Amino acid sequence: MKPLDRSSGDLLADRRADYAEMLFGSGDHAAAAELMLGALELAPGWAMGWFRLGEMQETAGAPDRAGEAWRMALKLDPADRAGAALKLELIGEAPSSAAPPSPFVEALFDQYAKNFDASLVEKLGYRVPELLDGAIRAQRDRFDYAIDLGCGTGLMGERLRPMAKFLEGYDISAAMLKKAETKRIYDKLAKADLQTIRLAPESADLVTAADVFMYVGALDGVFATVAAVLKAGGLFAFSVEAHEGPEDVVLRTSRRYAHSEAYLRRLLENAGLSVVSLDRADIRMDRGAAIEGLIVVAQRL
């Protein structure tokens, strides 16, 4: 996929944008937005610039202007690699979505791939692979065929490798898969979108999804896919960000989805999967605050 243009292609516009970022970093958000708008007058076709202007306007307390900027970003890049539609949804200017734009998720993780492991584990205290490993081993510790959905760079795969005779990984990001390949953990790696992935029925006895579903949204389709690929008695181990409100799924300001326990239990039951363990735990830090998640293991009946 073509990467997002971090540069406008116009030297003067880029200089103005850089100065706008300096002002923004110093806390002068309104002045930063004004200067960024000046940069865009020189480079009006710069989709990522419009997206960034929206973020500056939002922080400056001008949500209407932010919405205008994000709509322009979406017009210039209909694939929405920046995730402007999610921003519009969060300020009430777009309907609720069942899932994020796949190009946004792909671009996000292509961007993060280079420093993903260090950033997530060392800086954010990421614990999901460790927690899922313990939850899986409490049930079984040997599997003939395991599938790691949203495998990323292989952090979960490192935990699964000692347990699985054959380990398969899927991810939407080619850059993440390239990093995973260098670790030589997986027997097979393939690029796939979890919204549309197709897998051989009744082939696996373990499927994992570590810190993946916050970038999926509605989970009924994925759960049905997992139920179909599992053998009878097979395990499905996954994490979500926990949501305590009455809604099944909510889009947070982080542009990640959080899911309620009741929603998960209902979907799993509908898919023919029985919950064998469900635990609450802090799964990572975000902006200095602990993020509570649910660590779930279900079994195909």
Res 5: pLDDT:
67
CB 168 within 8 A of CB 146: yes
Say what the pLDDT of residue 3 is: 56
The three-state DSSP-derived secondary structure of 247-286 is CCEEECCCCCEEECHHHHHHHHHHCCEEEEEEEEEEEEEE
Residues in the chain where the model's pLDDT stays below 50: none
Q: Under CATH, which number does the domain 113-300 receive?
A: 3.40.50.150
Domain at 11-95, CATH homologous superfamily: Tetratricopeptide repeat domain (1.25.40.10)
- Extents of the domains making up the chain: 11-95, 113-300
Nearest to 33 by CA among 58, 67, 4: 58
pLDDT tens by residue, 152-187 = 999 999 999 999 999 999 999 999 999 999 999 999
Q: Residue 293: which of 192, 209, 227 has the closest Cα? A: 209
pTM metric for this prediction: 0.92
- Where are the strands (E) in the chain, listed by range? 143-149, 164-171, 188-191, 204-209, 230-242, 249-251, 257-259, 273-286, 289-300
